[in-house]
Chains A and B, each alone.
Chain A
Amino acid sequence: MKDITRRDFLKILGAGTAVTAATMAGCKNDGDLNPTGTLQPQKGQMTYRTNHNTGDKVSLLGFGMMRLPVIEEQAPKGASGREAKAAPIDQEMVNKMVDKAIEYGVNYFDTSPVYCQGRSEKATGIALSRHKRSEYYLATKMSNFAPGTWPRKESIAMFNNSLKELQTDYIDYMLLHSVGGGEDSMKMLQQRYYDNGILDFLLEKREKGVIRNLGFSYHGDVKVFDYLLSRHDEYKWDFVQIEMNYLDWHFAHEIEEANTKAEYLYNELAKRNIPAVIMEPLLGGRLANVPDHIVREMKEREPERSVASWAFRFCGTFPDVLTSLSGMTYMDHLDDNLATHCPLKPLTDEELAFLEDIAKKIYDLKNIPCTACQYCMPCPYGLDIPGIFTHYNKCIKEGNFAKSQEESDYKKMRKAFLVGYDRSVPKLRQADHCIHCGACIHHCPQRIRIPEMMDMVNEYVEKLKQGTL
């Protein structure tokens, strides 16, 4: 290593001064010394993957622009939990994070016309336009979910608006957004991309170079995935975006019957030599937020690496993964991810087996597999669907999920669950107000049967309140 980093310097220094440590005890916490105790990213050490179609060297860490920071002080008055997300986007912070990401070698930025209540593309455009266009790859999507956007004219307007918001005249990576959803997924695909000729439009744009890579992102019904891949010879997909992480690798199907194991998805792509872009590597943060005993196991092995790092290293270990997208909200998310990817240390077979065991343990917790992506929102009846699920999962994770009144901590757990419920979700937005209209079901990329889950949460709440658990 040519330039010695501060970290290495400290290691050497540390070894040298160990003997005198006793006399130096007072200086041990000096602010100038290694302040974090965790792994630091190394500039110029980002791991890159090559897209064999275009030769793009893509950073293994991609910046997902779906969970951008907001100015919390400007949230609507009295807004709690998710209501605060309606606050304006903190553009200054977005700029800072993008600058730092680029500084450390991140060059893939993934957005969509619908992210952050439709404000993500603009924010992304502002942040990136401050850099040379050749320094980064832009990914955005044809997010024509609403029937109102199905007509050809509307969809094309959406595409043109993306170019405008992103302040560019070409898109590096263009996706059909979240195919596989809808009550009848094949019909939905037909309506969104075939009937209106939008797929042909996009293929044509690729010919002209306005789109450099064309692919699709997929959630849900595997029929659509298989169908689109079966026509690979015709469309020549440049990449495909799939949900992959160590929990979904084997358990996606067990968690929600309608879903498909990530193992299958990845292998189908690898078979055809199609680069895979990974979404939900952390399951909306759930894999960064695991119960204490799992944290302990991870830290015993890698005390300096974060819990989240395991999930990214899992994805990065697979050679056909082009990039793992992380929706980073805070600078410390970015710092941590940079440390993981600069450079990425692939998992050994033994470590993969360890993660499989961890996945089994997380699966056994019986969480609701919500990633808080917000696609189900707004619920027409005012429920805060992700808020309810997040609270439920949080209680399981924190050990505040009583299974019976006999448990010694029952009272404490009951209070934490009920008080926390009212804190995170206003009463009128709680599970008991779900009328089973089903509007949400087909929007859920995780295919959660939301109304049934609402009943389950509410039944649990009732048991706690009535003391009949």
Chain B
Amino acid sequence: MNKKTLQRIRRVLAAIFFLGITLMFLDFTGTLHKFLAWMAKAQFLPAVLALNFIVIAILLIITLLFGRIYCSVICPLGVFQDGVAHVHNWFKKGRYTYSKAHNILRYIMLGIFVVLMIAGVNSLAVLLAPYSAYGRMVQSLLGPIYQWCNNGLAALSEHFHSYTFYTKEVWMRSLPTLIVAAVTFVVLVVLAWRNGRTYCNNICPVGTFLSFFSRFSWFKMHINEEKCIQCGMCTKNCKASCIDGKNGFVDYSRCVTCGNCMAVCPKEAIEYKHVKGNPAPVGANNHSPLPADKKTEETVDTSKRAFLIGSAVALGTAALAQEKKKVDGGLAFIEDKVMLVRKTPIVPAGAGSLQRFRNHCTGCQLCVSQCPNDVLRPSTTLLHLMQPEMSFERGYCRPECTACGDVCPTGAIQKLLKEEKAVTKKGQAFWFAQNCIVVSDGVSCGNCARHCPAEAIEMVPLRGDTTGRKLIPAINESKCIGCGACEYVCPARPLSAIYVEGVEQQRTI
């Protein structure tokens, strides 16, 4: 085997996974996920949360056979760091040194992660999780750039009367998530630029977990002492800092089988093969503690544009600027709707109970990036930070759409058929008299009833109205599915006169 073969294979596979996952996050047309959703489902942590035993078994078997190749091929965050480190290599080659494993640090991190997950504080736990950290970065940072480029093409395509590209509105779904993504990005770039896989060796819970298995992997990097001239090239080029070339020692718990050492060894002294015995030092002391690179937790204040329903009373209906009627008069101004803070958040259909959803979601933002109706956005509440929830200022949860359930890799949003989704109750609509234009302006409306896909709204006479023309919505709770169509099409602004609250337990009606 050529000494560069392993490195080449690894690079090709890594590129395929990395591009596939990145594109899946970026593509908002719902086309690619049909072909690529398996790449998200092959991620370790999502598979654990989805109790996807087949994937878990395959990943463990791969690790037991080949070492932590998962980290350098399948994990997009790992590949991302390799990319950053590789760029640094253009300027400065052979800058790594061997360091002992910081076992205490990484076991503590893994422990914290497991405890937080079990305690249900996913929002903190997932700050450490590799796949969802990558997802957030792509969705929040790269997504807008991609969409702007797309919109440029859409403008071109409109110019040429083609319908190939269409405009996608670029809007910030959640400031805290954007900040978390930006901080993650900066921290990881700095760490990877300086020392390669610092995050993977010390913080990543998946990496630490896999390290228990990779020590015993069948194929390993083996330094042939007869050929080795102790030049130290392997050590200098090991981004995992796990090769002690002077002593012919490799820490298999950190080796991600990237093959870089093989490629640079002048004597072809490094072989990737089966070795008997287990030379991995367990419980080595960490003599040079690395700076603790725990990501900063952002304080979260509720978005300025969010209003509590209680305060809505004071606002009342915005009187739609009823300009003096003139013909040929252009367009009326439309005031933006504000996002309600709902007592119970509305989570995507297929979440089951709110608790179940909380425990399974890693906040990777894949569903948010795929939602074609601009309904999903990451939560801004501290406990559930970055987990998706719905709001209906820009659209509503359309009956025929099952995009979020189709892509969710963790099973937090279970895959539903169109027919199942149409009868899944995820929320409950309420009428808010003060805002209803029938009450405040005396206009007849009924738009909520006209657009309710579940036919749960009927217009009934307003009590005490003698004209018989003032009809208000009567919501049949047993039929309402909480899709938000009524809230979206309600003419009252900035707050709708009919709004949806989530339900703790979703159910079929």
Contact = CB atoms under 8 A, between A and B. Distances in A.
B298 interface: no
Contacts of B398: 465-466
Interface stretch (A53-61, A81-89, A340-348, A354-362): A81-89
B292 interface: no
A435 interface: yes
Contact of B330 (A146, A378, A416, A467): A378
Interface string B163-181: 1001100000000000000
B166 A377 contact: no
A86 B327 contact: no
Given A82-B331, A377-B328, A379-B332, A436 B489 contact: no
Interface in A406-431: 412, 415-416, 419-420, 422-423, 427-429
Contact of B332 (A85, A382, A435, A436): A382
A117 B158 contact: no
Contact of B327 (A379, A384, A443, A465): A443
Interface stretch (B46-54, B237-245, B251-259, B317-325): B317-325
B331 A419 contact: no
A437 B332 contact: no
Interface stretch (B64-72, B275-283, B444-452): B444-452
A434 B320 CA distance: 14
A374 B327 contact: yes
B331 A435 contact: no
A117 B330 contact: yes
Nearest to B394: A427
Interface in B78-98: none
B328 A375 contact: yes
Interface in A77-134: 82-83, 85-86, 114-118
B467 to A, nearest CB: 15
A436 B447 contact: yes
B450 A466 contact: no
B160 interface: no
B450 A416 contact: no
Nearest to B437: A435
Interface string B330-347: 111110000000000000
A146 B325 contact: yes
Contacts of A198: none
Contacts of A382: 320, 331-334
B158 A374 contact: no
A443 B326 CA distance: 10
Contacts of B166: 419, 422-423
B327 A114 contact: yes
Given A381-B320, A443-B327, A434 B334 contact: no
B329 interface: yes
B420 to A, nearest CB: 15
Given A427-B395, A432-B451, A465-B398, A437 B444 contact: yes
B443 interface: yes
A143 to B, nearest CB: 7
A129 B489 CA distance: 49
B329 A467 contact: no
Given A114-B326, A381-B320, A437 B443 contact: yes
B111 to A, nearest CB: 48
Nearest to A417: B163
A377 B446 CA distance: 21
B334 A375 contact: no
Contacts of B330: 82-83, 85-86, 117, 374, 377-378
A460 interface: no
A436 B446 contact: yes
Contacts of A377: 327-331
B440 to A, nearest CB: 13
Given A378-B323, A419-B163, A420-B163, A117 B328 contact: yes
B350 interface: no
B465 interface: no
A437 B451 CA distance: 16
A368 B432 CA distance: 36
B399 interface: yes
Nearest to B325: A146
B163 A435 contact: no
Given A423-B166, A465-B398, A467-B400, A381 B491 contact: yes
A376 B158 CA distance: 28
B501 to A, nearest CB: 23
A437 B166 CA distance: 32
A373 interface: yes
Contacts of A375: 327-328
Most chain B CB neighbours (cut-off 10 Å) among A412, A432, A439: A432
Contact of A381 (B323, B332, B400): B332
B163 A415 contact: yes
Given A423-B166, A433-B447, A428 B334 contact: yes
Nearest to B401: A465
B331 A66 contact: no
A429 B334 contact: yes
Contacts of B331: 82-83, 86, 377-379, 382, 384, 429
Most chain A CB neighbours (cut-off 10 Å) among B163, B167, B324, B395: B163
Most chain A CB neighbours (cut-off 10 Å) among B320, B326, B443, B447: B326
A442 to B, nearest CB: 11
A150 interface: no
Nearest to B372: A465
Nearest to A114: B327
Given A85-B330, A378-B332, A416-B163, A455 B395 contact: no
B326 A434 contact: no
A201 interface: no
Interface of B: 158, 163, 166-167, 320, 322-334, 394-395, 398-400, 437, 443-447, 450-451, 489, 491
**3 pairs of A and B residues whose beta carbons are closest in the complex:** A382-B334, A378-B332, A374-B328
Given A380-B323, A419-B166, A458-B451, 17 more contacts: A83-B330, A83-B331, A143-B327, A375-B327, A377-B331, A381-B332, A382-B331, A382-B333, A415-B163, A420-B163, A422-B166, A423-B158, A427-B394, A428-B334, A436-B445, A465-B398, A467-B400
Interface of A: 66, 82-83, 85-86, 114-118, 143, 145-146, 148, 373-382, 384, 412, 415-416, 419-420, 422-423, 427-429, 432-437, 439, 443, 455, 458, 465-467
13 contacts: A82-B330, A86-B331, A117-B328, A374-B327, A379-B331, A379-B332, A382-B334, A422-B167, A423-B166, A429-B334, A434-B447, A437-B443, A466-B399
